[in-house]
Structure 1
Amino acid sequence: MTRRFEDARILMYSHDTFGLGHLRRCRAIAHALVEDYSGLQILIISGATIAGAFDYRARVDFVKIPSVIKLRNGEYTSLDRHIELHETLKMRQSIIRSTAESFKPDIFIVDKEPMGLRGEVEDTLTYLKAHGTRLVLGLRDVMDAPHLLEVEWKRRDTMRKIEQFYDAIWVYGPPDFYDPLVGLDVPATVRDRMNFVGFLQRGVPRDNMPSHRPEGDYILVTTGGGGDGADLIHDVIHAYQQDPELTYNALVVLGPYMPAKKRNKLIRKGSSIPFIRMIEFDNRMEELVAGAKGVVSMGGYNTYCEILSFDKPALIVPRLVPREEQLIRAQRASALGLVDMLLPQESEDPMRFAAAIKALPYRAPPSRSAHGLRLEGLLHISDIVGEWLDHRSKQHLSIVKQTS
């Protein structure tokens, strides 16, 4: 049953430099919360270039900060090449702080990057903590290989700052799947604040919009944002070219961040194959996953949650650099029998890849091997937020009574 909280506010931060994962995760959480709590307002700060391409429910809005692009080597650059990176970061930091000051959130949720891109939210965390805002760090089920994450966090003194600022740490996965801080020296005070809320379940939007699903059966091929997805799409096309028995219809979503030169080349290559249909982007990916007979993916967090939510057979070809997040997730899910996996060097073999694609629609869905694995993240987050806002309301009522 929907509960009402008067003028409750949540601010979310999504740095968004490469792909759509952070914004889509924040959006899923925001939509679930405003559905459960009337009167709640949520504002998402996002650096995604296409943040405005998505639909937002009533009482959910976003503030766009200047975009920064993460290159494949892990370095960053401004989207506007005429502006120096340090100038862009100064603008982002100023907008984030001023948004927090004017919005006055009860809760501030930071997605994945504890201090933001290059430390851009640390100033805002300091301000909000002094004003009593509850500060939450949301972590993916898998962050990166422990040795890589440890080096990065030690260089930035991240663990100490997490301990200093954050009241709670939500892990968007169950404890028996993976620990994002495994192998790191985690203070007991930080461990005590960690809550493995579970995977974030996805659903098909309940509205009167026309369906985005193609007619007939199809396999969905998706690389998320697409910035580093060209190799996977090339391997899919090559498999269709080399195996005449591969005739299952495939809907290929290239992703909005795929470089234009690579995108155009793939569209030309795929146009000669009658079983492949290509589109650049769809803002309702949940519908496409729900309608597919199977999913071929790199296994980013959001796609993985959709695979589990809609119980779809999946073939994962993970990215290996600059982060090992997708590889670790795919290896763990494969070991549990939830998905099939090929390494990128294996998908480059067209006949091997074709055989895996042909077998995909007949693979058992993840639920056959789930061993009680549930997607309860949004439910748990809603319960936690409800308790916090209820406590806030009682405190406010007590203050009013004392002053009246």
Structure 2
Amino acid sequence: MADLVMDLSQDAGPLPAKPERSGGTRVLIYSHDTFGLGHLRRSRALANAIVEDRPDTSVVIISGSPIIGNFEFGSGVDYIRIPGVTKLPDGDYRSLNLNVNLDEAVGLRQALILQAAKAFKPDVFIVDKEPTGFRGEVVPALEYLKAAGCRLVLGIRDVMDEPALLVPEWERKGAKEALIRYYDEIWVYGLKDVYQPLKALNLPADVDKRITYTGYLRRDVPPTPSLTRYPKITKQPFILVTTGGGGDGDHLIDWVISAYEADAGLEQPALILFGPFIDRDKRGSFVERIAKQPKLDVMSFDNKIEWLMKKADAIVAMGGYNTFCEALSFDKRTLIVPRTKPRLEQYIRAVEAERLGLVRMLSDYEEPPTPERMADALRSLSAQPRPSEVTIPGLLDRVKERLKALTDPEASSAPAYRQAAE
């Protein structure tokens, strides 16, 4: 199946005649979901923002996430759940639920993605993160939709990985060639002043002109409150500790608990949110330790975490893209404790965000993770500036403007907010 990545000779089938169709603009989003919640939550935020701005638009998200049905979507947004794949500790992948090998699972996903493209007939196709999709599964749909006149967009987060790893990875996947061949626009969900994720690829000048730095994707609380019952601890100023999906957040949770265990003088309480993918055994151990600390409480998962974000006095998180956007959107004092393995993505984002004064960072990359270091950092949160105290033009997103430019014949084709190097 690896040969599929740039095998462009495959017949995606004849282009059907375009029948009359109802409704306004149609947007298809491919969410690259093989681990955690990050890609799904970003795609959901994008879809909800689109239909809020343009109520006649229909958006379909294609995702392999096993919990996509737990989230609330705006009117006009729906999803197609394709068979999931999951990342193993050794970096390899396997089928999540089906008893088939990985190649067969990818082949099924590829066929479903192509069929969705043919049936839905989108005006815009937004691909998340991977230009060819997981193991090339999006290439036949790209071929078909390009020939059909659909506008193709690659959407990537502000930081992908350190250049020494990103460049060979993209060469191996044929991603750079796909970027050049297929995509009308590349949306970087961030600011050029923070980071330029594709700079090391040395893209041709005409491709570089397709890049738009949209700013960070703005987040709002869902229209209906969470049905989750919040602990008593949330009735007073509290620190929210979140690790996103929870599959790789054990280190942060352990470090926070150890700080409260070691320092009885920590006054502000903290609510720890595990996430749905936390290891069951580690979860049990953490619950026992948390139960002994009067200033700590715990929740398993909240599919409307935005409400908790808004209630919290401050946030402690690993520094994934979505949490960073929420901290900016809700103007929260934030301590980032970035993951440094297997990628430096979170560390790079945290370093640059701290440089701009948007967050504070605490890392074990060069110093040991002692309870005292965490306790000092938690104690300092209340005196930390809020993101709104830093003036950075275009910080939050302009995606809606770009979508209008792609779908409105009378709109300017020039990017609305490029921050491009002159």
TM value normalised by structure 2: 0.88
One-letter identity of the residue aligned with 1:281: F
Task: Give the unaligned 5+ runs of structure 2.
Answer: 1-21, 412-422
Partner of 2:56, secondary structure, is strand
Distance change (3 Å), C-alpha of 1:250 and 1:364:
same
| 8 Å contact from structure 1 (residues 309, 375) kept in 2 | no
> Match of 2:418?
none
- Alignment partner of 1:339 is 2:356: no
One-letter identity of the residue aligned with 1:389: T
One-letter identity of the residue aligned with 1:372: I
- Alignment partner of 1:30 is 2:50: no
- Alignment partner of 1:135 is 2:152: yes
CA positional deviation for 1:29: 1.1
CA positional deviation for 1:388: 2.6
> Match of 2:296?
276
CA positional deviation for 1:231: 1.1
Q: How does 1:2-401 map to 2 (within 5 A)?
A: 6-80=23-97, 82-207=99-224, 214-344=234-364, 346=367, 348-368=369-389, 370-377=390-397, 380-391=398-409
Partner of 1:251, secondary structure, is strand
Q: Structure 1: which 4+ aligned runs deviate by more than 6 Å?
A: none
| 8 Å contact from structure 2 (residues 83, 98) kept in 1 | no
CA positional deviation for 1:186: 1.3
Give distance in 2, aligned partners of 1:58 and 1:183: 40
One-letter identity of the residue aligned with 1:125: L
Q: Deviations over 1:220-260 (max 9, x none)?
A: 00011111001110111111111111232111111111122
CA positional deviation for 1:210: 5.8
Question: Is the helix fraction higher in 1 or 2?
Answer: 1
Distance change (3 Å), C-alpha of 1:97 and 1:81:
closer
Q: Deviations over 1:191-229 (max 9, x none)?
A: 011011111111122346668763211100001111100
One-letter identity of the residue aligned with 1:88: A
Distance change (3 Å), C-alpha of 1:315 and 1:260:
same
Task: Give the unaligned 5+ runs of structure 1.
Answer: 394-404
Partner of 1:39, secondary structure, is coil
| 8 Å contact from structure 2 (residues 255, 369) kept in 1 | yes
Give distance in 2, aligned partners of 1:324 and 1:182: 16
TM value normalised by structure 1: 0.91
CA positional deviation for 1:160: 1.3
| 8 Å contact from structure 2 (residues 228, 302) kept in 1 | no
| 8 Å contact from structure 1 (residues 129, 135) kept in 2 | yes
| 8 Å contact from structure 1 (residues 44, 62) kept in 2 | yes
One-letter identity of the residue aligned with 2:383: Y
Partner of 1:261, secondary structure, is helix
CA positional deviation for 1:71: 2.7
CA positional deviation for 1:320: 0.7
Give distance in 2, aligned partners of 1:207 and 1:278: 23
RMSD (Å) for aligned C-alpha atoms: 1.8
| 8 Å contact from structure 1 (residues 319, 344) kept in 2 | no
One-letter identity of the residue aligned with 2:364: P
| 8 Å contact from structure 1 (residues 317, 342) kept in 2 | yes
Give distance in 2, aligned partners of 1:208 and 1:332: 34
Partner of 2:309, secondary structure, is helix
Give distance in 1, aligned partners of 2:333 and 2:225: 28
CA positional deviation for 1:108: 0.3
Give distance in 2, aligned partners of 1:373 and 1:73: 41
| 8 Å contact from structure 1 (residues 72, 228) kept in 2 | no
| 8 Å contact from structure 1 (residues 13, 110) kept in 2 | yes
Alignment coverage as a number of residue pairs:
386
Distance change (3 Å), C-alpha of 1:212 and 1:203:
farther
Distance change (3 Å), C-alpha of 1:106 and 1:254:
same
One-letter identity of the residue aligned with 1:85: L
Give distance in 2, aligned partners of 1:26 and 1:132: 23
Give distance in 2, aligned partners of 1:115 and 1:67: 17
Q: Deviations over 1:117-175 (max 9, x none)?
A: 11110111011111111000001000100110001011122111110010110010122
| 8 Å contact from structure 2 (residues 187, 214) kept in 1 | yes
CA positional deviation for 1:326: 0.3
CA positional deviation for 1:73: 3.6
Partner of 2:292, secondary structure, is coil
Distance change (3 Å), C-alpha of 1:283 and 1:387:
same
Give distance in 1, aligned partners of 2:147 and 2:313: 51
Give distance in 2, aligned partners of 1:297 and 1:42: 30
One-letter identity of the residue aligned with 1:333: A
Give distance in 1, aligned partners of 2:251 and 2:337: 10
